């Protein structure tokens, strides 16, 4: 391989390396942004659950009716195990 071709190849490899480094920095910035948004969403959901738990102590809700409401809204045919578990958690009687 001639010196010119080798020089061209080294230049292209350097450019690819720089581009990969820039992509990595961009990916990290986007990941930090997404993780921040997830953290904010989790805090919001947790606070909402706390308020609901306090309200449900004073104003009990029939868990079966809440689960039926989800099925009506989603057409899920009762297949909402995660939502059902949260309903059970929120409506559980404190001892």
- Residue 74 within a domain: yes
Residue 93's pLDDT band (boundaries 50, 70, 90)? confident
Residues 28 and 1 in one domain: yes
Residue 77's pLDDT band (boundaries 50, 70, 90)? confident
Helix axes 3-58, 81-91, angle to 10 degrees: 40
State residue 80's pLDDT score: 85
Which residue in 39, 60, 49 sits closest to 85, CA to CA? 49
Give the span between the Cα atoms of 76 and 69, in whole angstroms.
11
Residues 33 and 8 in one domain: yes
CB of 91 within 8 A of CB of 63?
Answer: yes
Residues 3 and 42 in one domain: yes
Give the span between the Cα atoms of 54 and 12, in whole angstroms.
63
Residues 33 and 67 in one domain: no
Instruction: Look up the domain containing 88 and give its range.
Output: 60-95
Domain count, the chain: 2
């Amino acid at each position: 391989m001639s010196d010119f071709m080798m020089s061209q190849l080294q230049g292209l490899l350097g450019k690819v390396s720089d581009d990969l480094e820039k992509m990595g920095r961009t990916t990290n910035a986007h990941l930090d942004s997404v993780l921040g948004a997830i953290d904010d969403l989790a805090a919001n959901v947790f606070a909402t659950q706390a308020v609901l738990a306090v309200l449900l102590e004073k104003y009990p809700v029939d868990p079966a009716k809440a689960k039926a409401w989800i099925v009506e809204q989603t057409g899920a045919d009762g297949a909402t195990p995660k939502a059902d578990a949260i309903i059970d958690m929120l409506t559980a009687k404190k001892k």
